[in-house]
Amino acid sequence: RNIAQKTPVLLPSMSLFGYVAAGRLIQTECERIAENQFVFAVPDIDHVNHVVVFLTGIAPLPDGFAGAIY
């Protein structure tokens, strides 16, 4: 009998998206505000010049979906 099959595997919580603000560490914590909308809280945003948003690779976007940044 294999006990490992009955033990749940706990993976770190991972977001579908992440961002990097120039000069800062990668952030993947975002708030899901709708089924297809996510919001990042960027501390001290007035001092950010460049931001890169990316898919983390945890899952692909569903067929027929696309990404946009506002």
Query: DSSP string spanning 11-66?
Result: PPP--SEEEEETTS--B---EEEETTEEE---TTGGG---EEEEE-SSSPPPTT--
What's the pLDDT at 8? 47
The pLDDT of residue 35: 81
Q: What is the pLDDT of residue 4?
A: 52
pLDDT of 10 reads 41
Q: Which amino acid belongs to residue 12?
A: P
Mean pLDDT per 10-residue segment, the chain (70 residues): 49 76 94 88 94 91 84
Q: Is the pTM higher than 0.75?
A: no
CA atoms within 13 A on the CB side of 48: 14
Residue type, 4: A
The pLDDT value given to residue 13: 59
Rounded to a whole number of angstroms, the distance between the first and last alpha carbons of the chain is: 53
